[in-house]
Structure 1
Amino acid sequence: MRDTMKPCQHTLSDDVVYKDVVVVGNGPSGMVTSFVLAGNVPYLKDIPEDLPIDEMLRARLSNLPPGQSLYDADLLELAEGLEGRSQNPISLLMDNLLRPCADLGIQADSLIEWRYDVEKEIDHVVLGRGPPGGAWHTFPPQVRTLSPGAWLSLPPHTTDSAERLTASAVAEYCRRYVQACHLQRYFRCNVVVTSVTAAPPGTGAPCSPACPRSASYCVSGYDHKEGRGFRYACRRVVIAAGACDRPNVLPEHISHHALHQLAALEKAAQLNQQHPKSQSRCWWWVRGVSAADAVRLARASGLHVYHLHRTAADSLAKLPLLNYPDYNQVYKMMCDGASGNYTNYKSLPEHMIVEVTPLLSPQTTNTEEENKIRLKKVKLLNLVTNKTVELTVYIVAVLIGSKPDLFFLQTNFDLNTIEIKKCKCNEKKIDEKQCFLRNHWHYLKSVLGQSIQSCKSRYLNYTEINGNIDTKCALPDCNKRDTCTCNTKAERGLAVRECKCEIIPYSNLRREKNCQCQPTNPYSSGLGYGIDPKKPVDGRSNPVAIDKSTHEMFNFPGMYALGPLTADNFIRFIPGGALALVTHIHREMKSE
């Protein structure tokens, strides 16, 4: 903390900026973390006698000394025995204090008072791809939230709104939140983080805890607007990247012809309405809340929907009819199946897609999304009768959830446990442009270092289907070589690829013998970071493994995670993770 920090004259290289904490992600998780890091300290208010909070929690809170901040309390002890929709105890504790009795339908004032303390301020930066709000800016504006407005406010704000908000309203609130809380100086938007690596050994011992020589991590990336890279050295990293970056997809022969995001569907609906044949165009979806949003969006646009699903979605059935009449209507339509008589809608339960065949050639002048809005034949299999049926549609949309993209994390997971298959090399000519780029590849790689490898791994990795890992290689420019052996091993925690093929210098007059085996990318999936380190990170089935009392990642000292990465998939539970990690940081700084 500031009173323990001594003036430091040590500096890093000109292209490296030192921060005590770097937060990756500027959605609600990154925003509330920044608010707490900025010196805003939570204190407990007096608890009204008539407020029906958990009696054991009331007893434990009453034992806190008057005027003590929550930073000095045993948060895990206070949270003992609490139950709710989060598996993280401190998230439940903070939710009970910020929204007491919320699950009982009681609108009560917050039990937390926030006070600014300059001595508690920690120097940090929040990095995000777009404006503050993260994925909320990517959703169709009129899509409504599952949570009521009262559950979406971030500290220190409170509201008693019971209405569901539109995605555009939440996105706008996030913009205003950063300004209202005076956090602008901490936010750096429109940037992409490409790697988070261990900092190289320093040239000398740090003179104080705040000395740049004490940096444990190096965070690299590039700025969209400025068109240049950046590097931060820091002691601690907070991963608040959310879980919506990579949509789950079906096998490539299907996903290649499909749309996977609501925003892409909204754009497709607008393009459809611009054509006179739009009324004859048909849609296809699968189950889930997002699919229900898509069904409503398409029908509102006058487009016919074929709704393909295995069974009616349980997630829709659990929503109360009074608060969610829109989703309940879609659920009823799904349950009625083929016997239902609804305008522009037909339910196809117990069906699965087998094949998609385009009937029109793609236009070279169109974008990839526009080319996906083409007439195509879809073959479906009825799982009950084992018969196939064919439909002619214009758009195939697959909405089966999403997962985080952790390509920027470097892992010490033993990559030798991942099976790398042999791959075949094909023959292909190369042109002058390809030769120029390839001749300068080693120079570019030396300039950007590990960032290039991380980006390459991210964009060239083979599709992961429902958490199953497969391997595929892109092998251009080989002289009809039968096979080449590709081995992947771990060196200093990084994936190193060895390919036993002879390399011939690039030439327009010759064919090169070059086997480029691309193993499954171990970074995008977050292998090594989940509760089961051998499986991809998933916010529901395999969240990031953390110490529940601090939200610090296991085996990665100084690296924290919160929000959907730790299974806190509702905004209301995010402040608890921020409180846990900032409390831990303050205690470590005090002991140094």
Structure 2
Amino acid sequence: MKDSMKSCQHVVSDDIVYKEVVVIGNGPSGMVTSFMLAGNVPYLKEIPEDLPIDEMLRARLSNLPRGQSLYDTDLLELAEGLEGRSQNPIPLLMDNLLRPCADMGIQADSLIEWKYDLEKQIDHIVLGRGPPGGAWHTFPPGVRTLSPAAWLSLPPHAAAGAARLSARAVAKYCRRYVTACKLQKFFRSGVTVTSVTRIPQSGGPRCHNTQCPLNAEFCVAGFDTSSCRPFRYVCRRVVVASGGGDRPNTLAHEVARHALHSLAPLERAVQVLSSHASPTPPSVLIVGSGVSAADAVWLSVRAGLHARHLHRTPADALARLEPQAYPDYCQVYKMMCDGPSGNHPNYTPYPEHTILEVTPENDPTHKLNADDIEDYALSLKRVKLLNLNTKEVTEIQVYLIGVFIGAKPDLFFLQTNFLDCIDIKIDCAKCIDESKMTKRKIEEKQCFLKNHWHYIKSMLGQSIQSCKSRYLNYSEINGNTDTKCVVPACNKRNNEKNSIDKCQIIPYPNEVKINCTCDVVNPYSSGLGFGIDPKKAVDGRANPIAIDRSSHEILNAPEGMYALGPLTADNFVRFIPGGALAIVSHMHQNKH
């Protein structure tokens, strides 16, 4: 957002960078937000008469003044009454404009025209842990997408193609997108954000230049993952676009330490197992009933391994898929539905079972080596399973356990105010006294702790997060919150603050619901306070971040903080541009 006023003389200290907007996350959510912040403005095209879009939407669009951008439009009013696979109205509106009649199987041209306007550019930076594309770089390259290619393209690219793409293809597209849209200068990859904090305001007069650092509201701190050098950005607004799958749900610690929780290392382990000469196919145990668990089963069976599948009722997402377009998922769904009587090669289902115990076994003659996989994850182990219906215990031997029971976002960086005890000072360039500066530099050289405090603070935060996630964060099977603890009389005991009780969470769908009070949730990663139910952890499906639907501002956060994408329950790429439109439109309409 270019300011016509003369540049002011206020500057920040050397170790702080000022940006109007900081975007946290460089996946599709951060990428399309950057595209709009960079000065690309959406305008409505002429709507073909024969295009069967919603009639009420057509009427509202026809009343828009000619030449008016969508940034200057009441988007919530335009989106009124629209229905679809998103619960957020503006993402639904944008999807109807970018992919009109997509759910009817019609591939029509976009109704949006993009024009570059330098005056609409907003200075920003996009921060990400890996290369642009986010989680797409962490999936096994050969895994196919659920969405067709036409639903994965980002503005301004035209939507085309009904084929499913590989994760490798989507990751490459994300890399090319940043270059093709000339966004490289706005991206900083290979960094970890550790805190987002509010800057205390002095209460004195503020600068009239909207781009002045004195008007900064937030400080975003972190460190470079390769050099470990800390960084700090101060900004007026923060966009949280970090995705919803950084923290995989796990079973009890005794099981979790023997298991893998993401597809990429599981695929690597499957490759090691399949290359190991054996008279009978090595067994792997897959836990979960959703799409990721189906991917894991398919990878294992296709590699010639014996997949033992512990699951509940198959997820609705699998049941809705068409066999012609999704033969892999539909085959796994059929095997799950057939149950033990299905007699499918190299597949044994264990419906309504839970893991009681995992015991490592000695197997020196079949020692497996893989540098990138922990020894305890890829080794022979004996597993005891409990049938929740018959209470029968079954013992099996497996080399690998893969647990795919959903994931939650890691919002640790939003809840680290307890670590922030360093004030951020913004000085006027004309008022800096050289003698004071010299004295301060001498003092800083004499104090190692002071010089390195922000790095130490960042690492301390990460250590706390790691420890709490490992020892305190027990999760439910398949996201089921109806739990019962195997520890007797758990709910009758007094929970002491300094004690950690070990319990196993198992689902009881047809019995009395009992909540386990010794299930301690890590409050520093779960996003407590930001969800629709502030007392529960943020979950992109069950408890998304609470937002103002007209602007995507976070309701339970200071003004100027936004969220989009999976954090707000938009789990399909096709709906992400709408969240970015709501955010950037609100910024342009509230420049001061």
Q: What range is the shorter-chain TM-score in?
A: 0.7 to 0.9
Query: 2: CA distance between counterparts of 1:145 and 1:320?
Result: 14
Q: Which one of 287, 294, 297 corresponds to residue 295 of structure 1?
A: 297
Three-state SS of the structure 2 residue aligned to 1:263 is: helix
Structure 2 CA distance for partners of 1:144 and 1:321, relative to 1, 3 Å = same
Q: 1:360 aligns with which of 359, 362, 383?
A: 362
What's 1:463 paired with? Answer: 473
Looking at structure 2, the residues matched to 273 and 346 of structure 1 have their Cα atoms a distance apart, in angstroms, of 18
Correspondence 1:72-83 to 2 at 5 A: 72-83=72-83
Matched residue SS, 2:383: strand
- Mapped to 1, the partners of 2:302 and 2:338 lie a distance apart of 20
State the secondary structure of the residue aligned to 1:19: strand
Q: Secondary structure at the match of 1:11?
A: strand
Farther-moved stretch of structure 1 (320-329 vs 240-249): 320-329
1:373-395 deviation line (CA, Å, top 9, x unaligned): 11111111112221111001111
**Contact 1:272-1:278 within 8 A present in 2 as well:** no
- In structure 2, the partner of 1:501 is none
Match among 373, 378, 403 for residue 373 of structure 1: 378
SS in 2 for 1:258: coil
- The equivalent residue for 1:391 is 396
| Shift in alpha-carbon separation, 1:372–1:210, aligned structure 2, 3 A | same
Change (3 A) 1:361 1:368: farther
Name the CA distance, whole Å, in 2 between partners of 1:65 and 1:224: 49
1:225-283 superposed Cα distances (whole Å, 9 cap, x missing partner): 33311110000000000011110111111111111110111110122234323954201
User: Higher mean Cα deviation, 235-244 or 461-470?
Assistant: 461-470
Aligned to 1:89: 89
- 1:582 aligns with 584
State the AA in 2 paired with 1:379. K
Structure 1 residue 454 corresponds to structure 2 residue 456: no
Amino acid at match of 1:100: P
Aligned to 1:247: 248
8 Å contact from structure 1 (residues 101, 108) kept in 2: yes
Using structure 2 for the length normalisation, give the TM-score. 0.84
Q: 1:149 and 2:138 equivalent?
A: no
* Conservation of the 8 A alpha-carbon contact between 2:265 and 2:373: no
Q: Tell me which of the two structures has the higher relative contact order, counting C-alpha pairs closer than 8 angstroms and 6 or more residues apart.
A: 2
The residue correspondences of 1:259-408 to structure 2 (distance < 5 A) are 259-277=260-278, 279-286=280-287, 287-360=289-362, 369-408=374-413
1:218 corresponds to 2:228: no
Equivalents in 2 of 1:561, 1:278: separation in Å? 53
Letter in 2 for 1:260: H
Indicate how the Cα distance of structure 1 residues 410 and 385 shifts in structure 2: closer, same or farther if over 3 A, else same: closer
Q: How far, CA to CA, are the matches of 1:258 and 1:441 in structure 2?
A: 41
1:108-144 per-residue CA deviation (whole Å, 9 max, x = no partner) reads 0000000000000000000000100000000000000
1:337 shift after superposition? 1.0
2:563 counterpart residue number: 561
CA contact under 8 A between 1:24 and 1:127: conserved in structure 2? yes
Q: 144-153 vs 375-384, which deviates more?
A: 375-384
TM-align CA RMSD? 2.6
**Which residue in 2 is equivalent to 1:23?**
23
Please give the residue correspondences for 1:398-477 in structure 2 after superposition, counting only pairs within 5 Å.
398-410=403-415, 446-448=453-455, 450-461=457-468, 462-466=472-476
**Equivalenced residues, count:** 521
Shift in Å, 1:443: 7.0
Is the CA contact 2:223–2:455 (under 8 Å) kept in the aligned structure 1?
A: no
1:166 aligned partner = 166
Superposed CA deviations along residues 500-553 of structure 1, whole A, max 9, x for unmatched, are xxxxxxxxxxxxxxxxxxx85322000111011110000011000110000001
Q: CA deviation at 1:305?
A: 0.7
TM-score, length-normalised on structure 1? 0.84
**Matched residue type, 1:451:** S
Displacement of 1:315 after TM fit? 2.0
Cα distance in 1 for partners of 2:356, 2:167 equals 34
Are the equivalent residues in 1 in contact too, given 2:75–2:90 (CA < 8 A)? yes
1:502-541 matched pairs, under 5 angstroms: 521-541=522-542
Q: Secondary structure at the match of 2:206?
A: coil
State how far apart, in whole Å, the 2-side matches of 1:202 and 1:277 are. Answer: 71
Distance 1:118 1:365 in 2: 52
State the alpha-carbon separation in 1 of the partners of residues 249 and 536 from structure 2. 15
Q: Cα offset for 1:202?
A: 5.6
Distance 1:311 1:59, change over 3 A: same
CA distance in structure 2 between the aligned counterparts of 1:60 and 1:484, rounded to whole angstroms: 59
Cα separation, 1, equivalents of 2:350 and 2:496: 45
Are residues 7 and 457 of structure 1, via their aligned partners in 2, closer, same or farther at CA, if it must alter by over 3 Å?
same
Is the 1:264–1:369 Cα contact (8 Å) retained in structure 2? no
Identity of aligned residues (%): 63
Structure 2 regions of 5+ residues with no counterpart?
Answer: 419-446, 484-494, 500-519
Secondary structure in 1 matching 2:31: helix
CA contact under 8 A between 1:100 and 1:110: conserved in structure 2? yes
- Unaligned stretches of 5+ residues in structure 1: 414-439, 471-482, 488-518
| 1:12 pairs with 2:12 | yes
Deviation at 1:203, TM superposition (A): 9.6
Cα distance in 2 for partners of 1:456, 1:217 equals 24
Aligned partner of residue 259 in structure 1, secondary structure: coil
Q: CA deviation at 1:73?
A: 0.8
Residue 424 of structure 1 corresponds to which residue in structure 2?
none
One-letter amino acid matched to 1:464? Y
Corresponding residue for residue 437 of structure 1: none
Distance 1:584 1:79 in 2: 15
- 1:291 and 1:399 in contact (8 A); partners too: yes
CA contact (8 A) 1:22 1:236 kept: yes
Contact 1:310 1:349 in 2 (8 A): yes
Structure 1 residues 61 and 343: alpha-carbon distance in aligned structure 2, compared to 1, 3 A threshold: same
| Contact 1:527 1:537 (C-alpha < 8 Å) held by counterparts | yes
Whether the 8 Å CA contact 2:195–2:416 is kept in 1: the answer is no
Whole-angstrom CA distance in 2 between matches of 1:290 and 1:5: 53
Please give the alpha-carbon distance, in whole angstroms, between the structure 2 residues aligned to 1:102 and 1:531: 29
Do 1:350 and 1:384's aligned partners in 2 also have CA atoms closer than 8 Å? yes
Rounded Cα–Cα distance in structure 1 between residues aligned with 2:75 and 2:143: 36
Q: What secondary structure, in the 3-state scheme, does the structure 2 residue paired with 1:125 have?
A: strand
Change (3 A) 1:527 1:445: farther
Distance (whole Å) between structure 2 residues aligned to residue 469 and residue 348 of structure 1 = 20
Q: Mark the CA change 1:484 to 1:251 in structure 2 (over 3 Å): closer, same or farther.
A: closer
Distance 1:205 1:15 in 2: 24
CA contact (8 A) 1:411 1:528 kept: no
Cα distance in 2 for partners of 1:396, 1:335 equals: 22
Q: Is the 8 A contact 1:279 1:302 kept in 2?
A: no
Distance 1:96 1:126, change over 3 A: same
Q: CA distance change for structure 1 residues 171 and 278 in 2, over 3 Å: closer, same or farther?
A: farther
Contact persistence 1:410–1:523 (CA under 8 A):
yes
**1:59 aligns to what?**
59
Q: Distance in 2 between matches of 1:351 and 1:52?
A: 48
Please state how far the C-alpha of 1:442 moved relative to its aligned partner: 7.3
Q: CA deviation at 1:322?
A: 2.1
Preserved CA contact (<8 Å) 1:39 1:119 = yes
Residue 289 (structure 1) shift = 0.6
